[in-house]
Amino acid sequence: MPTNFGDKLVIAISSRALFNLDESHQVYEDQGLDSYSQYQVEHEDEILAPGEAFPLVKKLLRINEKLGGEPRVEVILLSRNSADTGLRVFNSIEHHKLNISRAAFCGGESPYRYVAAFGCHLFLSTNAEDVRNALDHGIAAATLLSSGAEDRDDDELRFAFDGDAVLFSDESERIYKESGLEAFTENEITAAKQPMSGGPFKHFLQALHGLQAEFPPKTCPIRTALVTARSAPAHERVVRTLRTWGIRIDESLFLGGLNKGAFLKSYGADVFFDDQQTHCESAKSHVATGHVPHGVANEN
């Protein structure tokens, strides 16, 4: 048995992000844990409908089929269920033919503790507390929001990221929040040649970039986009930072404060990550959206 995943891209997903567990979760909320457990056992042969992250997971796992040979993407299930109540989840995984074989069922406890142990690059959940805990321990993580977006029925996988407090640290955004746009712009011009520190999603983006490099450029099924409220002249520091990191972003949108939703729809994002709730609310009707509760915008 392997002791680690080498250079694989490793994604952790909660059971409620992968499948629609709203009905059974309501039983838990209304009647408590014992009734929930009984409900799951009684319904364990009923297949669960796809959840918010299901289309993303299917596309991630298809990358292994495209590359052939040793799988390069590993998806791991992390769940607050017990193994007993989680049997329904694994039955649904088998039904939907998802190549997921590793899981941690935590019996009501938060599963974030196992994100680092599995060597995960990204954790997606519908539980904001679990996501915050993962972020606090240096793991890229996002809370998937309920979305009205339609799934794109193709094999291309498109990620979109906000910049400050997601790919980059929140050092510049903090100046904007505390001193306003003029001070922010002056700082970015002065520090244009000084790379920004990495944010919580830097290492995930690096892992994606490495996976992209295994495909010929014209046949790569993964695309990345930076979708930021920045505009010129604050764009230069972003470009130079990514260049210093040795990371290529396929598309960069500097929107100067414009609403991001319509641009994300035009790009066709499979998922978008942003630290600000207002941007997430704008995006979620167009594309699957993950809120990253990190940085100055999420401080009490």
Residue 53 is given by DSSP the state T
In a domain, 298, yes or no: no
Question: CA quadruple 195, 201, 207, 208: dihedral positive or negative?
Answer: negative
Point out the domain boundary residue: 144, 166, 188: 144
Count of structural domains within the chain? 2
Q: How far is CA 6 from CA 52, 72, 73, 100, 164, in A?
A: 28, 9, 11, 17, 29
DSSP β-ladder status, 102-105 and 122-125: unpaired
Q: Where are the beta strands (DSSP E) in the chain?
A: 9-14, 73-79, 102-105, 122-125, 140-144, 157-161, 222-228, 251-254, 271-274, 289-291
Is 275 catalytic? The answer is no
Tell me the residue range of the domain where 126 lies: 9-144
Query: In terms of domains, do 125 and 29 share one?
Result: yes
Amino acid identity, position 157: L
Judgement on whether residues 178 and 255 belong to the same structural domain of the protein: yes
Same domain, 130 and 95: yes
Same-domain pairing of 16 and 136: yes
Residues 245 and 210 reside in one and the same domain = yes
Choose one of 96, 120, 144: the last residue of a domain: 144
Cα 123 off chain centre by: 6
pLDDT digit string (tens) for the chain, length 300 residues: 344 677 899 999 999 999 998 888 788 778 877 788 888 888 889 999 999 999 999 999 999 998 877 889 999 999 887 888 788 899 999 999 999 999 998 887 888 889 999 999 999 999 999 999 999 989 999 999 987 767 767 789 999 999 999 999 999 999 999 999 999 999 999 999 999 999 999 999 999 999 999 998 788 999 999 999 999 999 999 999 999 999 999 999 999 989 999 999 999 999 999 999 999 998 998 999 999 999 999 987
Q: What is the pLDDT of residue 39?
A: 83
Segment 25-64, tens digit of pLDDT:
788 778 877 788 888 888 889 999 999 999 999 999 999 9
**Residue 220: inside a domain:** yes
Evaluated on CA atoms 116, 247, 196, 156, the torsion sign reads: negative
Q: Are 120 and 239 in a shared domain?
A: no
Catalytic residue, from 136, 151, 162, 275: name it: 162
- pLDDT for position 294: 95
* Structure tokens that stand for 171 in this block: 């050092």
> Is residue 283 domain-shared with residue 169, that is, in the same domain?
yes
Domain boundary among 78, 113, 144: 144
Residues 177 and 220 in one domain: yes
How many CB atoms within 10 Å of residue 40?
22
Distance CA 194, CA 244 (A): 10
Assigned token pair, 196: 């920004």
Preceding peptide of 111 cis, ω within 30°: no
Q: Are 166 and 246 found together in one domain?
A: yes
Cβ 292 vs Cβ 201: under 8 Å: yes
Yes or no: say if 231 and 254 are a contact pair by the CB < 8 Å rule.
yes
Euclidean distance between CA atoms 164 and 143, whole angstroms: 17
**Residue type for position 226:** L
| pLDDT tens digits along 259-298 | 999 999 999 999 999 999 999 998 998 999 999 999 999 9
Query: Taking Cα atoms as reference points, which of 270, 268, 263 lies closest to residue 288?
Result: 270
Q: How far apart are the first and last CA of the chain?
A: 45
Q: What DSSP assignment string belongs to 117-145?
A: HTT-SEEEES-HHHHHHHHHTT-EEEEEP
CATH number of the domain where residue 211 is located: 3.40.50.1000
State whether 16 and 132 are in the same domain.
yes
In a domain, 131, yes or no: yes
Query: Is the dihedral angle over the CA atoms 172, 176, 178, 183 positive or is it negative?
Result: positive
